[in-house]
Amino acid sequence: MSVAAPGEDIHASLSGVTRVYPGAAGRPAVHALGPVELKLKRGEFFAVVGPSGCGKTTLLEVLAGLQQATVGTVTFEGRAVAGKVPDGIGVVFQEDASFPWLTVWDNAAFGLRRNGVDTAEIRRRVDDVLAFMGLTDFARAYPAQLSGGMRQRVCISRTLVLQPRLILLDEPFGALDAQTRLLMGDEVLRLWRRTGATILLITHALDEAAMLSDRIGAMSARPGQFLEIVVTGWPRERDSKIVSDAGFGEITGRLWDNLRGESMKSLGHSAMAAG
């Protein structure tokens, strides 16, 4: 299914993208993704939901340049992305990717130091981002002294200081409890409004996708393809209170209608694989 947005400013796109993992040690190749068509509009918040193992993370990694598409083309700001992460893309991973040997401040400053940014500018940007993420009081702390949610905020800070224009979030709140996830969702919305960046969020939580996004792509079981793109129609100024909106239930219901059968298929695959 084509997911074009005619007349819009296209920030990144996947065109006919397929990802096949070659078989190893006599095992057959795994067709993980595609073909997928996606056009991300500049400044939009797009979420991808789908059953486990449908290729959501693969889609993100192909878009980020962490993996190469087997077939198809990936572009970011009009340029082809080919196996290298382009400047302007920031990624936050599901796993705790904070550096335990560095303080929160040094974690956030890591990328800027690597890029040779001058000290005063590093201080300004890091202090600003830590204040925005509510981490100022923990600047001298080490990640081990923080909760899981705060560690994930450290990782988001490390991404934000680089001022990416496209932020890719790979289930960043997957390991957090429900309340913390709602609050983190509010923070992501805040940073999205402030930075004006385009955000692609991978999540398995339908409510999270429905609350945060302008558009939500529902993916099929492996090999993942978009079944439907749901437009939420939320105003840009929104927060987690939107979960009590009547339209919220409609959106999550529509997503579940798409995904129920696919999740069953995915479970069947898992059961067969386990058997």
Partner 1 sequence: MSRVAWIRIAVIAIAIALLEVCCRLGLIDHRVVIPPSEMADALARLLISGQDNGQIARTFGIVLVAAVISVIGGFALGAIIHALPRVRQSLDPFFATYYAVPIFIFYPVMIVIFGLSAIPIVLMGVATAIVAMIIATLNGLDRIPHVLTKVARVHRMGRIGTALLLKLPAAAPHLFTGLKLAVSYAFIGVIASEFILAPAGLGRVISDAYTDFDNRQMYALMLLLIIVATVVNMFLHAVDQRWAERRGIGKT
CB of 147 to partner 1, least distance (A): 11
SS3 160: helix
Q: What's the one-letter identity of residue 64?
A: A
Residues at the contact surface with partner 1, assessed by CB under 8 A: 61, 64-66, 84-85, 87, 89-91, 93, 95-97, 99-101, 110-111, 114, 142-145
Least distance (Å) from partner 1 to the CB of residue 138? 14
Task: Return the number of the residue (144 or 271) whose C-beta is nearest partner 1.
Answer: 144
Contact present, 97 and 155 (Cβ < 8 Å): yes
Looking at beta carbons only, is 93 or 226 nearer to partner 1? 93
Which helix (H) or strand (E) is 38 found in, with range?
A: strand 30-41
Quick one: 16 or 100, whose CB is closer to partner 1? Answer: 100
Q: Do 206 and 228 touch, CB atoms closer than 8 A?
A: no
Q: From CA 133, how far away is CA 141, in angstroms rounded? A: 15
Q: Which is nearer to partner 1, 30 or 85 (CB)?
A: 85
In whole angstroms, the minimum distance from the beta carbon of 185 to partner 1 comes to 22
Least CB distance from residue 2 to partner 1, whole Å? 29
Nearer to partner 1 by Cβ, of 112 and 255: the residue is 112
Determine the straight-line distance between the first and last CA of the chain, rounded to whole angstroms.
33
- Answer yes or no: are the C-beta atoms of 74 and 81 closer than 8 Å: yes
Nearer to partner 1, 94 or 263 (CB): 94
Least Å distance, CB 241 to partner 1, is 33
Q: Label each residue of 97-145 as H, E or C.
A: CCCCCCCHHHHHHHHHHHCCCCHHHHHHHHHHHHHHCCCHHHCCCCHHH
**Token pair in block for residue 60:** 């993100």
Minimum CB separation of residue 65 from partner 1 in Å reads 8
Closest CA to 35 of 67, 70, 65: 70
Q: DSSP secondary-structure letter at 224? A: B
**Smaller CB separation from partner 1, 112 or 189:** 112
Length of the chain: 275
Q: Give the nearest distance from C-beta 9 to partner 1 in angstroms.
A: 24
